[in-house]
Amino acid sequence: MKKIALLAALFAVLSCGPAAKTDPVTPDPTKPDPTPATPVTPVTPEEPSVTVPAFAKGVDISWVTEMEKKNYKFYTASGTEKECTALMKELGANAVRYRVWVNPTDGWCNKADVLVKAKRAQDLGLAIMIDFHYSDSWADPSKQNPPVAWKNMKVDEMATALAAHTKDVLQALKEAKVDVAWVQVGNETNTGMCLPVGAVSKDDVSGFVKLANAGYDAVKSVYPNALVITHHSNAHDLTKNKWFYTLIVNGGAKFDMIGLSLYPSYWDNKLNDYPDWTNYCNAALSNFQQLHTQYSKPVMLVEFGMPASKPDKAKAAMQFLLDGVKDFDWFKGIFYWEPEAEHGRNGYDYGAFSNGKSTGVIDLFK
């Protein structure tokens, strides 16, 4: 009996060894899988996001990279060197504006340059406006030259090129995770843009409307929530502004916001001085209200400037405007144009800096 018991025990030990290798079981397609795979949630690329301020306290600092290349520095009130964009935020700005040129000869304000500047602003949490000039250089009331590459185009071909340029720049910004709150389709387009194709006249605005709407649709295809601005100068001149906006609205132009410029104290050779700013600023405040009422659009002062050599008058004018619009929820902000510029650095007399330091005007944004 002991031998039988020993054999039984030995058999039991051997039976606990490694299990025999078996072939994998092929699932029966007619039966549901008892252990379904966990669903995979698709990964959505992160959307750039900066809170858009209810009131933009803005600065156009498009010259900044060019000034840096020339080794110009910027300083806090105490004399500490600081990068210009960060300094503007410290002074109270919550938004920046950058101009875009199509193919500038020196490269400044092209797509690559704008991308460098916009990334800085995005990282600082500043809201961004992109200002398309649709030119290789300055576009303003005195000149609206199309880019050299477009100069022989007819209106349909130019509209296609304008839309492609707009998308190209904005898509590059979006892929770099830069948010864009506002986009100007044209800069100070009093007489139109890309003349003569996009001219505005009492007889015909069809070319302008075609170009403007191509730009509008291009903006919305990349940044659906960005507000598109149509820009006219002379915020103090209601007659000229109503002439322009009535023509383009009746012509079918698409835009979300009225953008205006105001430089209330340009040098007057007859006076041999800078004239008093109060008349222009008073007129502008009245016009903001009338333009908003007539066209049912929000309004923004996308360019403002005063003589840098008269900082007390500049501060008074800025404070006057800030106080005058504070109760208008449809008035969306003020952008000081190139405050970091100085006559000795850029040859520009209407900035708000001296020797690399703020004269105090931008500090009113705090």
DSSP string, 143-170: B-PPPGGGTT--HHHHHHHHHHHHHHHH
Per-residue pLDDT at 127 exceeds 50: yes
- Of 30-34, 66-70, 148-152, 272-276, the range with the lowest mean pLDDT is 30-34
Q: What is the DSSP string of 295-348?
A: HT--EEEEEE---TT-HHHHHHHHHHHHHHHTT-TTEEEEEEE-TT--HHHHS-
Q: How far is Cα 237 from Cα 255, in angstroms, rounded to an integer?
A: 21
- Where do the structural domains in the chain lie, given as residue ranges? 56-365
Nearest to 183 by CA among 127, 122, 142: 127
Tokens of 6: 């020993």
Contacts of 116 (CB under 8 A, 6+ apart): 65
What is the predicted pLDDT for the residue at 2? 40
Tokens of 274: 């800078």
Q: What is the pTM of this model?
A: 0.87
pLDDT recorded at residue 51: 85
Structure token digits, residue 70: 């020339």
Query: What is the pLDDT at residue 48?
Result: 59
- Who contacts 11 (Cβ-Cβ below 8 Å, separation ≥6)? none
Catalytic residue among 90, 303, 338, 342: 303
| AA identity, residue 176 | A
Decide: 228 and 181 in contact? Cβ < 8 Å.
Answer: no
What is the average pLDDT across 71-76?
A: 98
- As a whole number of angstroms, the distance between CA 361 and CA 58 comes to 12
pLDDT per position as a tens digit, 348-364 = 999 999 999 999 999 99
pLDDT at residue 44 in the model: 42
pLDDT for position 47? 55
Catalytic status, residue 188? yes
* Active site annotation includes 338: no
Percent residues over pLDDT 70 in the chain: 87
Out of 46, 68, 90, 188, the active site residue is 188
What is the structure's pLDDT at 30? Answer: 40
Whether residue 80 has pLDDT greater than 70: yes
The helix-helix angle for 278-295 and 311-325 (nearest 10°) equals 30
Mean pLDDT across the stretch 335-347? Answer: 97
CA 151 to each of CA 136, 146, 161, 186, 329: distance values in angstroms, whole numbers, following the listed order: 11, 6, 11, 16, 41
Report the half-sphere exposure of 46 (CA within 13 A, side-chain side): 6
* pLDDT tens digits along 214-270: 999 999 999 999 999 999 999 999 999 999 999 999 999 999 999 999 999 999 999
**Taking 70 as the threshold, does the pLDDT of residue 1 lie above it?**
no
To the nearest whole number, what is the mean pLDDT of the chain?
Answer: 90
pLDDT tens column, 20-70? 333 434 444 344 444 444 444 444 445 556 789 999 999 999 999 999 999
Contact, 125 vs 179, CB < 8 A?
A: no
Measuring CA to CA, how many Å separate 124 from each of 15, 117, 217?
71, 11, 29
Separation between Cα atoms, residue 349 and residue 145, nearest integer Å: 25
Quote the pLDDT of residue 25: 40
User: Residue 209: which of 227, 194, 224, 226 has the closest Cα?
Assistant: 194
For residue 91, CA distances in Å to 57, 79, 241, 300 come to 10, 14, 32, 21
Q: Do 206 and 251 touch, CB atoms closer than 8 A? A: yes
From the options 1.10.3720.10, 3.20.20.80, 3.30.360.10, 3.40.1280.10, give the CATH code of 56-365.
3.20.20.80
